[in-house]
Structure 1
Amino acid sequence: MNFTENAWRIFNQSIEHYHKLDRVDQEIKNPYPNHSIEHLLYLKNWIDTVQWHLEDLIRDPKIDPIEALELKRKIDASNQERTDRVENLDGWFLEKFKDVNILSEAKINTESPAWALDRFSILALKIYHMNMEVNREDASTTHIQNCKEKLSILKEQHKDLSIAIEELLEDYKHGRKYMKVYKQMKMYNDEDLNPILYNKK
C-alpha cells in the first residue's frame, strides 16, 4: 500500500467513525499512536469532518443569531486547528526528507505535501457526502443523476490527486524537489496583529 492509499484509508476510517454518532461535539478517539503519521492523518481528517458539519449547521436559514455566533467562533477555532495540523504534517515530512541529497537542479513545489493532503482529506469528505446524495431515497431522479455525474468527477479527482501526491513524494525522496515550508501567520486570530483585537486592549 502506497502513501496515498494508506492516507485515503485513514481519512475514510475517520469519516466512518464520525458518522456513527454524527455529532460535532463528540470526542475524538484516535486509534493510532501519538506522533505517528497515521495519528496525524486521522486527526487532520477528523477536524475537517467536524468543520464540514459545523459549516452545514451555520447555513440553517432559521438559525438563532446567538447560536450562529457560537458556531462561527467554533468554525474560526477549527480553521486555526486545521492550519496547525497541516503544519504538524509538514513537520513530519521535513523530518522524513531531511537527509536527502538535494540535486543542484531541484525545484520547489507550489504547495507543500501537507497542503496537498489537506485537499485530499476534503475530497474524501466530498465523495462520502456526494455518495449519500446519490443514494437518497427521497430525492428526485434529476437530483440523483446530477449527483452521480458530480461523484464521477470527484472520483477522477481522487485518482489524479493521488498520482500527483505520489509523484511529489518521489521527487522529494530523490532530491528532484526540495521542501520549503512557510508558517501561515494568520493575522485575524492574533491579538497583536488584528486591529480589532489590539485596539480593545
Structure 2
Amino acid sequence: MPEITLPSAAEVIAAHDAALTSAPVTVEPDDLRGWIAANHFHNRSLWAQEDLARRKLAPDAEIVANKRAIDRHNQQRNDAIERVDEFLLSALGLVDPATLTAALPRSTVAPGARLNSETAGSMLDRISILGLKIAAMREQTLRTDVDDAHRESCDEKLQRLSQQRLDLGACYDELLADARAGRAYFKVYRQFKMYNDPRLNPALVAESK
C-alpha cells in the first residue's frame, strides 16, 4: 500500500490547543482534518454548555436552552467521530469503499489482524476532551483568588492529565501503524442516537400523535 499521510497524535494535539479560542470551523465534505476540528469545536461547545447548565440561579428557560444545546452539540460531535473513522478506514484500505457510509461497512481486513475495541475517531475524541481538561486545569493553577494548596493540587492534576493525553496519543499512533501494517483494524461504530430522532424517541413519538 502506498504511504498515506494521516494526522499524527502530535499534529492533532497541536491543532486542538491552537483552536481553543478559534471560531467555528467550516467543514468540507472531503476534509479529514476539518472533521477532526469540528469534533473538537463541538466538544468545546459541550463543555461551555455543561458549565452553564449547572447554574443554580439562572432562570429555568436558560437551563432548558443549555440542555437543548448540549443535545445538539453531542449529536454533531458523534457525527464527526463517525466521519473521521470513515476517512481513516478508507485511507488505510480497511473497508469496502462502496459500503463506507452504510450502517455496517464491510471490512476488507486480511485474516489474523486483531480488532481494536476502540475506533481511531473515538481516540481522537478522547484526546480532544483531555485537551479541554488540560486547558481548564491550567487556568486553575493560575488563579490568584485561591490558596497555594488549591493551586498545587490542580498542578498535580494538570501533570496527570498531560501524561494521559500523551499516553492516548501514543496508542492512537500505534493503532494507525498497526492498521497500516495489517496487524490491527477498527470499524465505524454507528451511535444511532435515539433520543434526538423523533421517530425513535418514545416521548417525541407520543407528542406527535
TM-score (norm 1): 0.88
**Mapping of residues 130-149 of structure 1, within 5 Å:** 130-149=137-156
Q: Deviation digits for residues 95-124 of structure 1, max 9, x if unmatched?
A: 111269844211111111000110000001
Long gaps (5+) in structure 1: 18-26
Pairing partner for 1:154 from 161, 164, 184: 161
The answer to whether the 8 A contact 2:42-2:73 is kept is: yes
Corresponding residue for residue 91 of structure 2: 96
| Stretch deviating more after TM superposition (186-195 or 33-42) | 33-42
Structure 1 residue 29, shift from structure 2 partner: 4.7
Corresponding residue for residue 6 of structure 1: 11
| Stretch deviating more after TM superposition (179-188 or 47-56) | 179-188
RMSD: 2.0
Q: Residues 117 and 53 (structure 1 numbering): CA distance in 2 closer, same or farther, change over 3 Å?
A: same
The answer to whether the 8 A contact 2:25-2:41 is kept is: no
C-alpha separation in 1, matches of 2:28 and 2:20 = 19
Whichever residue aligns with residue 10 of structure 1, its letter is A
Give aligned-pair identity as a percent: 32
Q: Residues 33 and 88 (structure 1 numbering): CA distance in 2 closer, same or farther, change over 3 Å?
A: closer
Q: Does 1:112 align with 2:119?
A: yes
Long gaps (5+) in structure 2: 1-5, 96-107
Paired residue total: 191
Q: Does 1:49 align with 2:35?
A: no
SS at match of 1:188: helix
C-alpha separation in 2, matches of 1:54 and 1:137 = 25
Corresponding residue for residue 60 of structure 2: 65
Structure 1 residue 151, shift from structure 2 partner: 0.5
Corresponding residue for residue 28 of structure 1: 24
C-alpha separation in 1, matches of 2:149 and 2:87 = 45
Q: Does 1:75 align with 2:80?
A: no
The answer to whether the 8 A contact 2:82-2:190 is kept is: yes
C-alpha separation in 1, matches of 2:197 and 2:7 = 39
TM-score (norm 2): 0.85
C-alpha separation in 2, matches of 1:50 and 1:194 = 24
The answer to whether the 8 A contact 2:39-2:77 is kept is: yes
C-alpha separation in 2, matches of 1:36 and 1:180 = 19
